[in-house]
């Protein structure tokens, strides 16, 4: 209970800070402070929280699905596949509704992730570091295809937006798609036990009575939706899905029914904190939250590689 008190306090502090910090002076005379709040600051705050929470949850699901703690959506090719889908739909039907584009992106993300899962079956499990390396290369190949396609069709400026998660462009009316993440997060939480069982491995899960394939597919569909929504609305933020679940797992274990809310909270607050840091560091200019997180995340990732006892992630 005490934990949740602190969690709520931290969240409230960060939301407060996020609403107050920015180039526009809320209490100045020449701008309507209330309007800045409703149109820009609050949407931006919600967007960071939703994207962070969603990516952290997606990370947990991917890690459990392949039984490896060192992966996350952007290490299994999911965002790159989503971008490929987005690019293709932009070329074929430039005027398609955002919802349609998002759906195509989610579908492409799912296909890309399933292909990775198929690849993962052939990767020896002895060394846990091998799988993320394979994923890195796999994601790199799809990313290269995306870039090539964008170059030849003169759409490179889109790629930049999709690749670097940042929230300065978030405005009322342009981020609401992200609320889908809240819905998907609820579904992930309802499936918490099943996802924990995925983490026990295929044999054990099936023997316990879980419909393994159906659960795996459902989990990856949820991951694909989250990643597609985040890529479309604010751009991909690497490392969130890797770092956050690992911190929570080390701290509180892996009973997901108990811990998923914590994962969502930590993902949301960390991304929001990075966004705030990005706004302050070279005020009045901004550094994308994704960049700030990548710097912190890379450090934590290296620490995880170094400190992880091998047997615990098999």
Partner 1 sequence: MIQLDNLSITKNGADILRDVSLKFGQGGITALIGPNGAGKSTLLNAIAGLITPSQGSVTVEGCDMIRARPPERASHVALLAQNEQVTARLTVRDLVSFGRWTHHKGRPKDEDHRKIEESIEAFDLVTLADRRLDELSGGQRQRAFVAMAWAQETPWLLLDEPLSALDPRHVRDIMDRLHALTRPGENQRSVVIVLHDLSVTARYADRIVALKNGQLVTTGPRVLAMTGPMLSDLFGTGLAIERFGGRDVVVPC
Residue ranges binding partner 1 (CB under 8 A): 63-64, 67-69, 125, 192-193, 196-197, 199-201, 203-204, 206-212, 249-250, 253-255, 257, 309, 311-314
Q: Which residues of 3-13 are buried (b: 16+ CB within 10 A; e: fewer)?
A: eeeeeeeeeee
Q: Which two tokens stand for residue 43?
A: 């949407």
Question: Helix, strand or coil for residue 237?
Answer: coil
**What burial class does residue 214 get, using C-beta atoms within 10 Å of its C-beta: 0-12 exposed, 13-18 middle, 19+ buried?**
exposed
Please, what is the minimum distance in Å from the beta carbon of residue 123 to partner 1? Answer: 14
Closer of 132 and 278 to partner 1 (Cβ): 132
User: Residue 240 Cβ, how far from partner 1 at the closest point, in Å?
Assistant: 20
CA nearest to 59, candidates 254, 278, 309:
254
Q: From CA 293, how far away is CA 250, in angstroms rounded? A: 20
Nearer to partner 1 by C-beta: 162 or 212?
A: 212
CA distance linking residue 49 with residue 219, whole number of Å: 21
- Nearest residue to 74 (alpha-carbon basis) of 301, 261, 254: 301
Closest approach of partner 1 to the CB of residue 192, in Å = 8
Q: Give whichever of 154 and 203 is closer to partner 1, judged by the CB atom.
A: 203
CB of 142 to partner 1, least distance (A): 25
User: Residue 279 CB, nearest distance to partner 1 (Å)?
Assistant: 35
| Nearer to partner 1 among residue 88 and residue 200 (C-beta) | 200
- Residue placing its CB nearer to partner 1 in the complex, 84 or 262: 262
């Amino acid at each position: 209970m005490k934990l949740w008190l602190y969690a709520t306090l931290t969240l409230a502090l960060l939301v407060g800070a996020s609403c107050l910090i920015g180039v526009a002076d809320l209490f100045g005379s020449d701008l309507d402070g209330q309007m800045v709040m409703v149109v820009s600051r609050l949407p931006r705050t919600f967007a960071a929280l939703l994207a962070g929470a969603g990516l952290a949850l997606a990370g947990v699901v991917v890690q459990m699905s392949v039984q490896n703690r060192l992966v996350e959506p952007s290490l299994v090719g999911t965002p790159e596949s989503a971008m490929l889908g987005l690019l293709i739909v932009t070329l074929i039907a430039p005027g398609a509704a955002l919802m349609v584009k998002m759906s195509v992106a989610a579908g492409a993300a799912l296909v890309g992730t399933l292909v990775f899962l198929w690849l993962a079956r052939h990767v020896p499990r002895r060394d846990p570091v091998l799988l993320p390396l394979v994923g890195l290369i796999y994601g790199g190949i799809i990313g290269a295809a995306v870039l090539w396609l964008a170059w030849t069709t003169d759409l490179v400026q889109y790629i930049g937006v999709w690749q670097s998660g940042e929230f300065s462009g978030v405005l009322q009316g342009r981020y609401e798609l992200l609320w889908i993440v809240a819905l998907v997060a609820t579904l992930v939480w309802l499936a918490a036990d099943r996802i924990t069982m995925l983490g026990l491995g295929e044999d054990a899960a099936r023997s316990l009575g879980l419909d393994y394939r159906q659960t795996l597919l459902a989990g990856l569909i949820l991951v694909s939706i989250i990643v597609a929504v985040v890529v479309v609305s604010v751009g991909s933020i690497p490392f969130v899905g890797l770092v956050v679940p690992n911190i929570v797992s080390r701290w509180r274990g892996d009973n997901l029914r108990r811990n998923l809310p914590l994962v969502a909270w930590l993902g949301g607050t960390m991304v929001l904190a990075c966004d705030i840091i990005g706004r302050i560091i070279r005020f009045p200019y901004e550094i994308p939250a994704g960049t700030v997180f990548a710097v912190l995340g890379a450090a934590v990732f290296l620490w995880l590689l170094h400190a992880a006892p091998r047997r615990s992630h098999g």
